[in-house]
Amino acid sequence: MKWRFAAAALALLLALPGAPALAFSDTRAQEIAQCLPGELQTWNDGRDTPSPHGAWLFFYAHAGAPDWFSAAQVQAVLQRAAQAWAPCGLPVQVMDDAQARTHKPDPAQGRVRVQWDDAAVRGNFAAANLTQRTLNLSPAMFALLRQRNPRHPAIETLQMTVSHEMGHFLGLVAHSRRCVDVMSYYDDGKGKRCSLRDPAALKAHVEYRSQLPTACDIQRCRAANGLR
């Protein structure tokens, strides 16, 4: 799936080399924790559809990963994303590809291979291929991020991208208009910007988007799957 969000994230991250991690923001934390009436808005760039499986297995292949991410770190990122999406109601199991090979297939469980593959990502940090059931991560883009902004904690960008792509498999096809949502795009490419409760807060953050699904992401995921 094409992924404009990646380009937007990169622009911000690269524009502020060495920017320090920013102070805790109450407004942003509240936006992550609660979804107010009327805040469930998307860019209408797709139609959410129920997940084709009631459960998912994401298995991780570490080949080709950047040297600065260990297999255990990436797998922990996947686990955190899976746990954070759990309130949507579709269980996500995570394992490495060696474990997956001996895991007895469960027909109720969709299987997604998580891998490093620049060709499948085409200039973004990551992309979900819903047909081939692959979640692709880009070694080249993470190398560029490290080169341009070495002080930025790349693991946070990895967490955000993995959480975002996992959301596509769970039925969230459209991108959110709320800046803080992990499923958001900052703009629509035509001059319209994402929305937030305190517009001034956007500038104070290198990355405003949450690393994990927000209350609105979860609410939309449940709605997409008929679990209101």
Q: How far is the CB of 165 from Zn ion (least distance, A)?
A: 7
Q: Is 186 in the site for Zn ion (CB under 5 A)?
A: no
Token pair, residue 133, equals 């059931």
Q: Using CB atoms, what's the residue nearest to Zn ion?
A: 3
Considering the rule CB under 5 A, would residue 60 count as an interface residue with Zn ion?
no
Nearer to Zn ion, 3 or 59 (CB): 3
Q: With CB under 5 A as the contact rule, which of the stretches 1-9, 48-56, 65-73, 88-96 interacts with Zn ion? A: 1-9
Nearer to Zn ion, 58 or 62 (CB): 58
Tokens of 14: 């690269």
The candidate with the shortest Cα–Cα distance to 3, out of 141, 175, 196, is 175
One-letter amino acid of 41: Q
Least spacing, CB of residue 48 vs Zn ion, in Å: 12
CB closer to Zn ion, 3 vs 142: 3
91-120 residues in contact with Zn ion (CB under 5 A) are: none
Q: Does 59 bind Zn ion (CB under 5 A)?
A: no
Q: Which residues of 210-221 are buried (b: 16+ CB within 10 A; e: fewer)?
A: bbbbbbbbbbbb
Q: Which two tokens stand for residue 27?
A: 């407004």
Q: Which is nearer to Zn ion, 189 or 199 (CB)?
A: 189
Which token pair is 150? 């070495």
The residue among 24, 3, 7, 5 whose CA lies nearest residue 15 is 7
With contacts defined by CB under 5 A, name the span among 3-11, 85-93, 114-122, 192-200 that binds Zn ion.
3-11
DSSP classification of residue 24: P
Question: Nearer to Zn ion by C-beta: 100 or 184?
Answer: 184
Of 9 and 215, which has the nearer Cβ to Zn ion?
9
| Sheet strand arrangement including 126-129 | 92-96, 55-60, 109-116, 134-137, 126-129
3 binding Zn ion? (CB under 5 A): yes
Q: Per-residue DSSP letters for 81-99?
A: HHHHHGGGS--EEEEEHHH
Chain positions contacting Zn ion, by CB under 5 A: 3
